[in-house]
A and B are shown apart, each in its own frame.
Chain A
Amino acid sequence: MTVAARFKSGRTGPGDAYVSDHSGSPHARFMRLTSYALVPLGMLSAWWILGLAGKPLEAVRAEIGRPIPALVLLAFGVIGMIHARRGMDDIIEDYVHDKALKAQAIVANTWASRVIAAIWILAILLIAAPK
């Protein structure tokens, strides 16, 4: 599975920020494979995320603190953000046409998705790990 760290244009010279990179097929396959895992994880997570609405602190901790919801939400957060990062890369590649800005946006997206996943993991472990 190739993971492009930055935008690689399919063209050299002027106008190279207007065409997508060379990794279309691996990208599509990567999105498909992660999405298969996200179908069951997403449905279960939707159930438990809806259960968080309007709850006091103790109830939120009790909901996340059980092993199965904790594991499912953990997997959903990690695989979801991996999938979301590549999806956001698509959006940046499609709509940002300034070459320097495009490169910066892709780096920002990479780190933002990692930070979100890290906070997600940390929070669930803090709540659900045996004391």
Chain B
Amino acid sequence: MADADTDRLAARRPLSPHLTIFKPILTMTMSIAHRITGAGLYVGMALLALFLLGAAIGGGAFSAVSWIASGFIGNLLVLMVVWAIFHHLLGGVRHALWDRGLYMDAKGRELLAQGTLVGGILLTLLVFIFKTLAS
């Protein structure tokens, strides 16, 4: 009885990210994007592992998994994985800077949030352009 009451109270206790009451701001959005790209990379790595296994076996196995990296869906998927790598990587660099006490003021953290967003897209575009030129 008492346990059930405490459980109900615990369930009603507000949890850390008060998403419904915060005004959406860039630093918060980049924090969420860091987690989403991380989870996305988990799925992306699973799909790429299947693609590589198909390529290793060859024949019918490769035809079964080739959608992961070719065609419209495959190209989009690979591009999203590459963007997620860069965005998550820059998000990590941001954390490494904060670990050292740098860029923690309002202007600094806003700059880092903008840098993560723009840098992730820019690096993806750069790699895409260089890769297209190289092939």
A64-B52 CB under 8 A given contacts A42-B85, A49-B78, A54-B69: yes
- A47, B131: Cβ atoms under 8 Å? yes
Contacts of A112 in B (CB 8 A): 46
Contacts of B10 in A (CB 8 A): 14-15, 18
- B48, A49: Cβ atoms under 8 Å? yes
Is B41 an interface residue when CB atoms closer than 8 A count as contact? yes
Q: Whole-angstrom distance between the alpha carbons of A39 and B41 in the complex? A: 14
- A53, B74: Cβ atoms under 8 Å? yes
Is A24 an interface residue when CB atoms closer than 8 A count as contact? no
Give B37 Cβ to nearest chain A Cβ, in Å: 10
Contacts of A53 in B (CB 8 A): 69-70, 74-75, 78-79
Contact with B along A97-131 (1 / 0, CB 8 A): 10000000000000011001101101110110000
A119-B53 CB under 8 A given contacts A52-B78, A53-B75: yes
**Chain A: residues with CB nearer than 8 A to chain B?**
13-15, 18, 32, 35-36, 38-39, 42-43, 45-47, 49-55, 57, 60-61, 64, 77, 80-81, 84, 87-88, 91, 94, 97, 112-113, 116-117, 119-120, 122-124, 126-127
**Chain B: residues with CB nearer than 8 A to chain A?**
3, 6-7, 9-11, 13, 15-16, 35, 38-39, 41-42, 45-46, 48-53, 55-58, 62, 66, 69-71, 74-75, 78-79, 81-82, 85-86, 88-89, 92-93, 95-96, 99, 127-128, 131, 135
